[in-house]
Amino acid sequence: MSGSTFTVRLLGATATLMLAAACGNGSSTSARPAAPGAAAIVHKSATGGVLGVARTALGPVLVDSKGRTVYLLTADSPGHSSCAAQCLQFWPPVSGPAGSAVPSVQGVSAALAVTKATSGASMLTAGGWPLYTFAKDMAPGEVNGQGKKSFGGTWYAVSPSGVAVKATPKSAPAASAPAKSSGGGGYGY
């Protein structure tokens, strides 16, 4: 066997082992907390679902498969998303699984279902509320979207029971004067 063939086979075997280790068969994954009070464990469904529960500065909230906080928009109605093109740039929907059946998720008591985003993509709902992440939450445990007012409503993290978490982050600095908008429709992102 030549040296280059051996190297290719070794790299292939290493990649296979790394993929197998990443897939794992456990029911939870570990993520390093990004903020004080953020949890290190995200519980996922036994079938590798796209939702989980994590403890953040707001308490326990739903998170996506990457551990990022999941939000609802008060302008939505049960089973119906009102977040259109510009909104979806800041608030991507939490993708729903193929088909209409959503597996149960450990620690989630809300009824989980699938609806359509305004883009036509499949998205998850919890307690009827369409679910989104926030583009400015860059790491697990961040709750930068909490309480933002835009796109006709207010954005709140979602509790495991499927209701809005209306608390403010425990690690948030003292309230200050609101920042002045620079225009652009008042989105201020």
Given pLDDT bands bounded at 50, 70 and 90, which one contains residue 30? very low
Alpha helices (runs of H) in the chain, residue ranges in sequence order? 3-23, 85-90
- Amino acid 7 reads T
CA distances (Å), origin 4, targets 9, 10, 21, 144, 177: 9, 10, 26, 49, 64
Is the Cβ–Cβ distance between 83 and 77 less than 8 Å?
A: no
CA distances (Å), origin 32, targets 35, 76, 98: 9, 32, 29
Residue 12: predicted pLDDT: 38
Q: What percent of the chain has pLDDT over 90?
A: 54
Residue 181: predicted pLDDT: 35
Residue ranges of domains in the chain: 20-168
